[in-house]
Amino acid sequence: MRKIPKKSFLRTKVAKERIERLFSLAKENLEKNPKRSRNYVELARKIGMRYTVRLTKDQKRSFCKSCNQLLIVGKTSRVELDNQKKLIIIKCLNCDNLYRYPYKG
């Protein structure tokens, strides 16, 4: 079997496709099996680290970094706006972790 060079375009392309697929599977399985959903997110993160593929901004903000739970507004997370500091505050309902992201008002 032929080895693929470390920084191969094909290798990163396949890794990105696998990450996308795992995030879609995590969204599908959130209602039925939340543990499986968290496993999909954890596997997607590991693939990104192994092949040095950056997650997109939307992907990074779509899950909790401490418990790998998908952050769906109203189901697994709560969203608040801080108008004074211009922040979006997202709270994970599974582990109570807070994420603060700036926005332009």
CATH at 49: 1.20.5.420
- For residue 4, pLDDT over 60 is answered with no
pTM of the model: 0.86
Comparing CA positions, the residue from 24, 34, 23 lying closest to residue 69 is 34
- Tens-place pLDDT, residues 20-46: 999 999 999 999 999 999 999 999 999
Mean pLDDT of the chain: 93
pLDDT score of 93: 96
Domain annotation covers residue 57: yes
pLDDT score of 8: 81
Cβ partners under 8 Å of residue 57, min gap 6: none
2 confidence band (pLDDT: 50, 70, 90): low
Please give the residue range of the domain that contains residue 20.
9-102
Domain annotation covers residue 96: yes
User: Under DSSP, is residue 98 helix (H, G, I), strand (E, B) or coil?
Assistant: strand
Number of domains in the chain: 1
User: What amino acid occupies position 102?
Assistant: P
Domain annotation covers residue 4: no
Give the mean pLDDT of 72-88. 96
- Element at 79 (helix H, strand E): strand 77-82
